[in-house]
A and B are shown apart, each in its own frame.
Chain A
Amino acid sequence: MNAGTTTDDEARMLASIPRLRRYARALAGNAVAADDLVQDTLARAWPRLSSCRGNGELLPWLFTIMHNLHADQVRRPRLLTVPIEEEAAAVPVRPRQHDNLELRDLEAALLKLPEDYRKVLLLVALENMPYAQAAEVLGWPAGTVMSRLSRARARLRVLLSEESPPVLKVAT
């Protein structure tokens, strides 16, 4: 297999990390779990990398692996144990400029979407992936991609309107 050297592969894997992390953060909704997911994805990808070489782009293939891993984890709920100090330590490093109410609502609403809706919405909206490629990554027919994307957006719209309740009126 001389389609790619180990060094090339490492460079490509390395270059994929920021986008894998962004996607995982949106998919898993928790920074620690997201990075675990990225790490597991890379670990699972290495032994199979030859099957991806010369066979299209690395990143969509990695997303597929990540979906499978994530689905495994969702099926088998884990005992997620994070030392309490982790939570405390995570607070100050939160990017403040995005810490407004609306975006936090979005984050919460996103996690309420069914998994399949969230995946397709993120691939299209966040990753800017063409529909055909999203269909390939997700292993769905093109029509399913479109219908789930449509439902995801509509559902998110409803969730977001629920997320911001009107200001409580005080009886006078």
Chain B
Amino acid sequence: MKDAPLSDADIQAYVDGALPAQRQAEVAAYLAGHPEAADAVRCYRAQNEALRALFDPVLEEKIPERLLQAARAPAGEHPSAARPRGFLPRWSSYRMAAGLLIAVLSGSAGWLANGQWHAARALAVRQVPVQFAHQAAIAHVVYSPDVVRPVEIGAEQEEQLVTWLSDRLNARVRPPRLGALGFELIGGRLLPGTAGPVAQFMYHDGRGQRLTLYVSGEQGRNAETAFRFAQEGPVNVFYWIDRNFGYAISAGIDKAELARVATSVHEQLAHKP
């Protein structure tokens, strides 16, 4: 049966060593007399090997913490498990930032699939502020892990920063002092909002924990809201709207600590002329 025609499936199975021994031998005999088919088989086997050579190293790579976390049972599966705390260190890579951003934009699974997210979303009634908190959280996760350039203008040039951002937002924007709460200004940057420029100020504490204040001047006329709280994955956000301005404070710190910061920011802004 040396010259029995081969099916394509025979060739594939031969390449993958998936044929019974006898059939394997028959195919080998056929290939001996058909150099073109034999070439294809050699090539396909080389493909198999090359694919493994190319991707096998991934097996040895250090598994990112966020994936280890994802392999653990979510809170609902662990009735007694405490909620994970101190998220931010796990987040200090650009990958995580990109990950949350993608998850938020696509509205897909990820952290956002968990019940907490839906609960947080249900808490925030109005669409615009929710969107605003989203944007603030996204900006936080994008920029706060940045080691090289977390801000555009650093705190050492605060006057320049204030002038520039005030100019672009067309309103006096000055970063509040949070030293009493242990947070020092790193600097700030200008970002695009949904309808115009937005300012982001970044702070850090002695442990390297970063916090961002997001200020947007596009929140409608004289709207005012109470403090609202949202949770975007591991990032907690307090936000409110006050006289056309939306403010959002984001950090991977617990809600109580973040609330103290939000209160302080709110007070300082309220006492501004």
Contacts and interface: CB of A to CB of B under 8 A. Distances in A.
B72 interface: yes
A131 B18 contact: yes
Given A39-B99, A150-B11, A25 B55 contact: yes
A42 B67 contact: yes
B36 interface: no
User: What is the interface of chain B mostly: helix, strand, loop, or mixed?
Assistant: helix
A52 interface: no
Overall SS of chain A's interface: helix
B56 to A, nearest CB: 7
Interface in A92-134: 95, 97-98, 102-103, 106-107, 110, 121-122, 124-126, 130-131
A46 B47 CA distance: 34
Contacts of A150: 8-9, 11-12
B65 to A, nearest CB: 11
Contacts of A125: 16, 47-48, 51-52
Interface of B: 8-9, 11-13, 15-16, 18, 40, 43-44, 47-48, 50-61, 63-64, 66-68, 70-74, 76-78, 94-95, 97-99, 101-103, 105-106, 108-111, 113-114, 142, 146-149
Contacts of A138: none
Contacts of B48: 125
Contact of A22 (B56, B67, B68, B110): B56
A34 B184 CA distance: 36
A68 B13 CA distance: 27
A36 interface: yes
Contacts of A35: 64, 66-67, 95, 99
A85 B149 contact: yes
Contacts of B61: 18, 21
Nearest to A82: B98
A65 to B, nearest CB: 10
B58 A21 contact: yes
Contact of A10 (B44, B71, B105, B111): B71
A59 interface: no
Nearest to A34: B58
Contacts of A25: 55, 58
Nearest to B17: A128
A146 interface: yes
Nearest to B143: A83
Contacts of B54: 26, 98, 103, 106-107
B12 A153 contact: yes
A73 B106 contact: yes
Given A9-B73, A153-B15, 5 more contacts: A18-B59, A125-B52, A146-B8, A150-B12, A156-B47
Contacts, number: 168
A164 to B, nearest CB: 13
| Interface hub of B73, B76, B109, B147 (most chain A Cβ within 10 A) | B109
A36 B56 contact: no
B109 A86 contact: no
Contacts of B72: 10, 13-14
A85 B146 contact: yes
Interface in A58-106: 69, 72-73, 76, 78-83, 85-86, 89, 95, 97-98, 102-103, 106
Interface in A2-48: 6, 9-10, 13-14, 16-19, 21-23, 25-26, 31-33, 35-36, 38-40, 42-44, 46-47
26 contacts: A10-B73, A18-B63, A21-B59, A21-B61, A21-B67, A22-B59, A33-B102, A35-B99, A38-B67, A40-B103, A72-B108, A73-B108, A81-B101, A85-B94, A86-B94, A86-B95, A98-B57, A106-B47, A122-B51, A125-B16, A150-B11, A150-B12, A153-B12, A153-B15, A153-B47, A157-B47
Contacts of B98: 32, 36, 80-83, 86
Given A95-B57, A150-B11, A83 B142 contact: yes
Among all A-B residue pairs, the 4 with the closest Cβ atoms: A42-B70, A86-B94, A13-B71, A22-B58
Contacts of A26: 51, 54-55
